[in-house]
Structure 1
Amino acid sequence: MLSAPKSTDTTIGEFKAQDIFGNEITENIFMDYDLTLVNIFTTWCSPCVAEIPHLAEIDSEMEGKGVNVVGIVMDVNDKGSINEEKLAKANAIAKKTGAEFEFIIPDDALRKSRLKGISAYPETFFVDSKGNIIGDAYVGARSKEEWIKIIEKELKSIKE
């Protein structure tokens, strides 16, 4: 199982981004959940897109356990302007995969903090309710079963 290099960022920080529907999303998205799985992907990445239905199932099945899933789609915001073609593709991916979790288009604050230097997709990390980045980061797609084991491990670590 590949782990990503440890980021020097320990919190997600403040941000004001939007989702693929134009709704404002801030760091407050993490407050109502013990643990949020943050999946960073691109619309052109086949393993990323193939993983999204698994993440959608996890999002709906684990919500009652205080777990949330958030996707950050990296290729829609191209140096400060929205690429409409890639935005349409992100919307089509959400619809086709049945994903109801947020697909966030990162703002500059996100790009310059935890997302800086990501070179392989998908990459996934975890955030607690206070916005702290916890546990390991994972490079590569996983099955639903693999993610559930990892999530349970991360939940256990924050409750200890």
Structure 2
Amino acid sequence: MKKRLLILGFALMMMASATACGSQSSTDKDGGNAKTESTAASTDKKSQKFPEFKAKTVTGEDISSDVFKDNKLTVVNVWGSWCGPCVAEIPELQKLYENMKDKGVNVIGLAQDAGTDMDAVKDILEKNKVTYQNVVPEGAVTDFVMSIQAFPSTFLVDSEGNIVDKIQGGRDLESFTKAVEDALNKM
């Protein structure tokens, strides 16, 4: 049983790293890599909702989907400790959080492997001096995370829990800031 779980976990990690971790989206005309995909537009003009959830953060605090109500926009970054591009963009997300928190923008990490490798997740967060909340997926959020085909994936969620934009692949501060500002201007 333990061997089967280990093989399944390894297979999932290999699939995820082969399909997304090292891939980048095409670049925009200015040479940046801030291309985003409008999730709302791809769902027949019907907004896709982020799954409602009640969970714990990596530090043991209670958190729920009510967190979206507290801000104009929440940047939800789905990452894994095993994914190089995921880990590389964490300092950029920390800077985004520091720069935008007074403008009604929050950042939340969704640590895909926090339930299985909490030590690795905590180590990465500590090394990068992360102060934004990171959630341990459970319930509907686990199903949502498992449906993602590219890591990292970042979702821009409005105060009503609607996913207003999606970014696949690693980004830098400038790209994240542009995506957030574009989303805020459309609201």
User: Which band: TM-score by shorter chain?
Assistant: 0.7 to 0.9
- Counting aligned pairs with the same residue, the percent is 36
Alignment of 1:1-160 (within 5 A): 1=25, 3=36, 6=39, 10-77=48-115, 83=116, 86-112=117-143, 114-135=144-165, 137-158=166-187
**Structure 2 unmatched ranges of 5 or more:** 1-24, 27-35
- Deviations along 1:31-57, one digit per CA (max 9) or x if unpaired, are 111001110000111111110001001
1:45-102, CA deviations, whole angstroms, 9 ceiling, x for partnerless residues?
111111000100110110111111011011122xxxxx3xx11111111111111011
Q: Distance in 1 between matches of 2:130 and 2:37?
A: 25
TM-score (structure 1 length as normaliser): 0.85
CA contact (8 A) 1:4 1:123 kept: no
For the aligned residue pairs, the C-alpha RMSD in angstroms reads 1.8
Q: Find runs of 4+ consecutive structure 1 residues off by over 3 angstroms.
A: 1-9
Q: Distance in 1 between matches of 2:175 and 2:82?
A: 23
Higher strand share: 1
Match in the other structure for 2:19: none
SS at match of 2:154: strand
Count, aligned residues = 149
Whether the 8 Å contact between 2:74 and 2:105 is mirrored in structure 1 is yes
Q: Structure 1 residue 13: deviation in Å? A: 3.2
- Gapped regions of structure 1 (runs ≥ 5): 78-82
The question of whether the paired residues in 1 share the 8 Å contact of 2:86 and 2:151 is answered with yes
TM-score using structure 2 length: 0.74
SS at match of 2:48: coil
